[in-house]
Copies of this chain bind each other. A is one copy, B any other.
Amino acid sequence: MHIAVTGAAGFLGQRLIRRLLEREQLRGQPISRLTLLDQVQVEVADSEGVEVVSLAVDITAPRAFDELLDERPDVIYHLAAVVSSAAEDDLDLGLAVNLDATRALLEGCRQRDLSATRLVMASSVAAYGGELPDTLDDMTALHPQNSYGAQKAVSELLINDYSRRGLIDGLVLRLPTIAVRPGRPNAAASSFVSSIMREPLNGEEAVCPVPTDLELFVMSPDKVVKALVHGAEIDGETIGPFRAFMLPGITVSVGQMIETLGEVAGPQAIEWIRHEPDSKIQSIVGSWPTRFHTQRADVLGFERDRDFRDILQAFQEERH
């Protein structure tokens, strides 16, 4: 079992790699090789028994995926992306990474007859937008109101069509907002969601750029990584006529998150949060829907978190 991961240096990539190495197998087969792609060389500790090949590649360059695909991976996790704020700031960069690189990956698979290779791409709740119903479902149209979401929606359509044509065995998981992320803030418009929990727990100031009644649709890093693993293991035939759907998050308001922070870490933790409205972030994140019937994902066995308290406690335990 040869698994490739693009965006391997990222938060999700790192966490997925760790999980795969712990599991030692995928689809019932021992993992023999991991090929890790990112702009920088990715180092992996404790990979006994698994050949790890790290490639530093600019995925917007011509033939960027050649070395990876020539080794005919069985599963490709395509996690590399320019996130929401960055894609909004730089249309060309977003198109190059979020659209053209996905297409190059698909074409590379097609040219090598990798029709049985499972390609799992991460998409996003940001692909939804516009005038939405109160509760969305698997048949709700994607009317993205940000370039990141538009580019992800385009990639979904291409992956679906290449899969339908039998050129690849693709699957796209639309991720809820991931919370709570460790590390530092990034260029995602949703970066604050983790910041306003993580920084106070570290005794640091955090900025909340949105009103506290703003709702979010969130999923813990643990459940997201579980979903990525599961996404490689479910059978293509059972997925249905469209290879992209929303993962089961939970709905929580920023106010509820802050309240839970107070309960879990004491009221003084809340004092670290400074409220500074940012209309740009508010307009991006505010356009993302927060209530879903995730029927497709539920039927296929993807798991949701129990509540936000669970998520925050798991994050705290991990820190110690």
Which A residues form the contact surface with B (CB < 8 A)?
Answer: 91, 129-133, 138-145, 147, 150-151, 153-154, 157-158, 160-161, 164-165, 240-242
Contact = CB atoms under 8 A, between A and B. Distances in A.
Given A129-B241, A140-B141, A145-B241, 18 more contacts: A91-B165, A130-B241, A131-B139, A131-B240, A132-B139, A139-B141, A141-B242, A142-B142, A142-B157, A143-B242, A147-B161, A147-B165, A150-B157, A151-B161, A153-B157, A154-B154, A154-B157, A157-B157
A293 to B, nearest CB: 13
Q: How many copies does the complex hold?
A: 2
Nearest to A132: B139
Contacts of A241: 129-131, 143, 145
The SS class assigned to the A binding surface is loop
A139 B140 contact: yes
A227 to B, nearest CB: 20
Contacts of A129: 241
A284 B160 CA distance: 16
B154 A158 contact: yes
A144 B131 contact: no
